[in-house]
Chain A
Amino acid sequence: MIILVPVKRVIDPYVRVRVKNDQIDKTNLNMTMNPFDEIAVEEAIRMKEKNPAVEIILVSVGDGDCQETLRHGLALGADRAIHVATENELLPLAIAKILQVMSEKNNVDLVLMGKQAIDGDHNQTGQMLAALLDWPQGTFASQVDLDKAEVRVTREVDGGLETLALKLPAVLTTDLRLNEPRYAALTHIMKAKNKPLESIPLEALGVEATDKQKILKVELPPVRQGGKMVSSVDELVECLAQAQVLPL
């Protein structure tokens, strides 16, 4: 069984992002693997621990720094990695088209990926990939049980948990509750340096990105006017009554 896990390199979620000259200022910021993708890597590793015949392939699209993120995934337990090299920031459909090529080329049985990247927050790529491949999809997964020809997935939907049975091959996207990712052991970090990591230029895949969508501007949201302090509970209640925000 071959599992493809796409991973994205993003700004550390604990870092405050800044805007400089109408662009997001990424200089000197700590970068990390998208947290939802880390959960996908972990889930794939757990499947491999149950079934050694599983092969885990990582793929990342972006500039050369993505290779560091891929090495991290290899240290966690993936078998090999593919870097699709481009300097351009691609939108979800273009990424999905790349992943479609990767899935077909590598005879992939299951794609496990984060439900969204914490930078663009699109939450689209997995669903789009499933459409392009004409495979079933299990999004926002909080539990995954793999059978021979079927995967049972419990999905976090608004107000509850939905369980679906999907025929393989399929695309799954991970939610927070699926698992708690491990840390890479030092010995594994050393070993990962010798695992195969291949770099392919985007042009070699024949995928064309749309120019129909453009980012015109990025800005900080309006600053909240806060900071009023009260010294007693009675004053607090008065504020609440005045603001008319209580349900009664």
Chain B
Amino acid sequence: MKILVIAEHDNHTINAATENVITAGLSLGDGVDVLVAGHQCRAVAEKLSILKGVNQVLMADHQVYQHHLPENCAKLIAQQASEYDAVLGAANTFGKNLLPRVAALLDVEQVSDVIEIQSETIYKRPIYAGNIIQTVENKERIKVLTIRTTAFAGQQVEQDPVQILDLDTVIDNTQSRFVGLEQTQSTRPDLTAAKVVVSGGRGFQNSENFTLIEKLADALGAAIGATRAAVDAGFVANDYQIGQTGKIVAPELYIAIGISGAIQHLAGMKDSKYIVAINKDPDAPIFQIADVGIVGDLFEILPALEEALKKQNLIT
């Protein structure tokens, strides 16, 4: 199969998700081509050209592609895609925005959020926020897939640089205009990409108490999450919400504090590698799925846990 991977970048650096997508692509074929659309993005193309598994980099470097707007980028990708058997992107806000538009231009159905590739045509994907796993057979002429990056390894091995092919296709976009990007001002990692997530629920009782979570999170270099109940009660803003209608996370370590474990919350975090639950109710459903649980008052356990981790030099 001939595979085309769509690179995600900010014209200077590659988003790590692209490397997970390359790994997924290599389970479909012997090598992948990577398309970089952007402006003054040669550095990105050069970095991609030395990643093992990459056969060729296609680069469309022009002002019209600077902000990666889907109106013209999708047309550019669809033009190139006719030479390929599969087009892959990450199932994050970048890929989710762009790839379905490409699929529609190619007149094929897409498969979203692929977590396992069994063969060229058969894949697994979560539905109902991961409560059900679906096996899909896809016989479309061109396979357009978005890849759940947490399910595929990142790619780090390097090779001698391969060819960078300049694409001179310039497709103008008069329909949409980039106004600005306000990056979340946080020293903490992004919730969906964090290795450690410390998450709080209604057990914190109010927003002032909820700030107690910050100390532990910062000591662990963790992102902070919350349940829908905590968000609805006004403890934290909506973008902290983990669950079926919020963000889906799968970190190495998930510490659930004062969280009972409602179905809709579990749907957003149960693929975490290691789950710790702290709750005063011994019957809370969260304990059934946690790797380790402790029953008690979070206002006593939280400081004691910080202290104990510090004493053993396990955190800073």
Contact = CB atoms under 8 A, between A and B. Distances in A.
Interface of A: 11, 13-17, 19, 24, 35-36, 91-94, 96, 118-132, 135-140, 152, 155-167, 170, 176-177, 210, 212-221, 224, 226-237, 239-241, 243, 245-248
B175 A158 contact: no
A118 B238 contact: no
B92 interface: yes
Give the interface centre of A13, A125, A241 by most chain B CB atoms within 10 Å. A13
Interface string B84-118: 00000000111011111111110111111100000
Give the interface centre of B94, B140, B177 by most chain A CB atoms within 10 Å. B177
Nearest to A122: B112
Contacts of B136: 213-216
Contacts of B227: none
29 contacts: A11-B128, A14-B262, A17-B128, A93-B104, A119-B127, A120-B127, A121-B129, A124-B110, A131-B105, A136-B175, A137-B97, A139-B97, A158-B190, A163-B180, A165-B177, A167-B176, A170-B175, A210-B109, A212-B138, A215-B136, A224-B289, A227-B290, A230-B294, A233-B294, A236-B308, A239-B291, A240-B253, A245-B196, A247-B196
B180 A118 contact: no
A24 B238 contact: no
B96 A161 contact: no
Interface size of B as a range = 35 or more
A124 B100 CA distance: 5
B291 A243 contact: yes
A247 to B, nearest CB: 5
Given A128-B101, A131-B74, 14 more contacts: A120-B127, A122-B112, A127-B100, A127-B101, A156-B93, A156-B239, A163-B178, A165-B176, A167-B175, A219-B132, A229-B293, A230-B292, A245-B253, A246-B315
Given A17-B128, A220-B132, A137 B101 contact: yes
Interface in B32-60: none
B294 A231 contact: yes
A216 B314 contact: no
A121 B315 contact: no
Contact of B104 (A24, A96, A163): A96
B309 interface: yes
Give the interface centre of B102, B105, B140, B312 by most chain A CB atoms within 10 Å. B312
B261 to A, nearest CB: 10
Given A157-B94, A210-B140, A128 B294 contact: no
Contacts of A235: 294
A238 B129 CA distance: 32
B184 interface: yes
A237 B182 contact: no
Interface in B178-221: 178-184, 190, 192-193, 195-196, 220-221
A160 B126 CA distance: 25
Interface in B247-292: 252-253, 262-264, 270, 273-276, 287-292
Nearest to B190: A159
Nearest to B98: A127
Contacts of B135: 215-219
Nearest to A169: B175
Majority DSSP secondary structure for residues of A touching B: mixed
Contacts of A92: 100, 109-110
Contacts of A226: 275, 287-291, 293
A221 B139 contact: no
Nearest to A121: B127
Given A123-B100, A166-B176, A247 B221 contact: yes
Give the interface centre of A94, A128, A165 by most chain B CB atoms within 10 Å. A128
Contacts of B295: 229, 231
Contacts of A231: 294-295
A161 B182 contact: yes
B134 A218 contact: yes
A91 B109 contact: yes
Nearest to B185: A160
A137 B262 CA distance: 34
B23 interface: no
Given A121-B112, A212-B108, A140 B274 contact: no
Contact of A159 (B70, B183, B290): B183
A87 B104 CA distance: 23
Nearest to B182: A161
